[in-house]
């Protein structure tokens, strides 16, 4: 079993935060141990770091992450295993009761395919409490496409050349019945 944790304590604008980077052998991962919890501004460093790992060139700049972690009307949840942040999801009601958006979802590569993406998505939908939920993804993002199809989303639109490199976005929607 390979498992190591590096915790970096740093000061950020007067606030002490803990950034946790995780290296874990895939075989040692027990996804069922993950707790899905509300995320707050205290998770800023860890969420920014995980966003970078998950999205690279598409990752949000930190002020956008901070906004997502603090703005009213936003749903922010994290997946934690033994106190380590291994996944997150951001949902946005955009001032409407009938339609909400899942704005971002990511799971650390070492913890993928253990059901965390599915659990985070379902928990976000519940918290959003909207009748319709939409999200967008890169046309070539097969992992996300499979996750969303399995969760009951269907394609409703294409945004041509939505991403900076010219790739199209697929827009998907789920009607939440329960
Ligand atoms: C997309 C992502 C969040 C999925 O997280 P995850 O924790 O691995 O997902 P789960 O383990 O809950 O998978 C649920 C289902 O999605 C599908 N799925 C997930 N990853 C997949 C992959 N790489 N290939 C094919 N299907 C996949 C499977 O149907 C899976 O069910 P199964 O494992 O029982 O077969 C994760 O791959 C990720 O963080 N990717 C980078 C960020 C990203 O692209 N986010 C989405 C932006 S729109």
Q: Whose CA is nearest to atom 9 of ligand 1?
A: 117
Are the C-beta atoms of residues 115 and 79 closer than 8 Å to each other? no
Mutate to test the pocket of ligand 1, among 111, 144, 167, 168 (most ligand atoms within 8 A of CB): 144
Q: Residue 177: what pLDDT? A: 83
Mutate to test the pocket of ligand 1, among 109, 143, 171, 173 (most ligand atoms within 8 A of CB): 143
pLDDT per position as a tens digit, 16-30: 333 333 344 444 678
Q: Whose CA is nearest to atom 1 of ligand 1?
A: 144
pLDDT per position as a tens digit, 22-62: 344 444 678 889 999 999 999 999 999 999 999 998 999 99
pLDDT per position as a tens digit, 91-131: 998 777 789 999 999 999 999 999 999 999 999 999 999 99
> CA–CA separation, 117 vs 147, rounded Å?
8
- Residue 102 CA, closest ligand 1 atom number: 48
Q: What is the mean pLDDT of the chain?
A: 86
Q: Residue 29: what pLDDT? A: 78
- Residue 107 CA, closest ligand 1 atom number: 39
Q: Residue 178: what pLDDT? A: 66
Tell me the CA–centroid distance for residue 142 and ligand 1, in Å.
8
Fold held by 31-175: Aminopeptidase (3.40.630)
Tell me the CA–centroid distance for residue 16 and ligand 1, in Å.
32
CA atoms within 13 A on the CB side of 29: 20
For 131-164, the three-class secondary structure string (H helix, E strand, C coil) is: CEEEEEEECCCHHHHHHHHHCCCEEEEEECCCCC
Percentage above 90 pLDDT, the chain: 76
Selected residue with higher pLDDT from 94 and 178: 94
């Amino acid at each position: 079993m390979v498992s190591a944790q590096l915790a970096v304590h740093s000061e950020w604008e007067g606030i002490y935060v803990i950034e946790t980077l995780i290296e874990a052998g895939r075989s040692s991962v027990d996804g069922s141990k993950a707790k899905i919890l509300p995320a707050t501004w205290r998770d800023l460093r860890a969420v920014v770091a995980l966003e970078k790992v998950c999205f690279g060139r598409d990752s949000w700049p930190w002020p956008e992450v901070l906004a997502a972690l603090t703005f009213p009307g936003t749903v922010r949840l994290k997946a934690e295993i033994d106190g380590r942040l291994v996944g997150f999801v951001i949902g946005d009601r955009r001032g409407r009761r009938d339609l909400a958006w899942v704005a971002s979802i990511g799971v650390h590569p070492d913890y993928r395919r253990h059901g965390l993406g599915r659990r985070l998505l379902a928990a976000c939908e519940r918290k959003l409490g909207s009748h319709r939920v939409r999200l967008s993804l890169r046309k070539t993002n097969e992992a996300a496409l499979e996750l969303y199809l399995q969760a009951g989303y269907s394609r409703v639109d294409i945004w041509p050349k939505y991403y900076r490199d010219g790739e199209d976005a697929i827009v998907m929607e789920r009607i939440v019945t329960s």
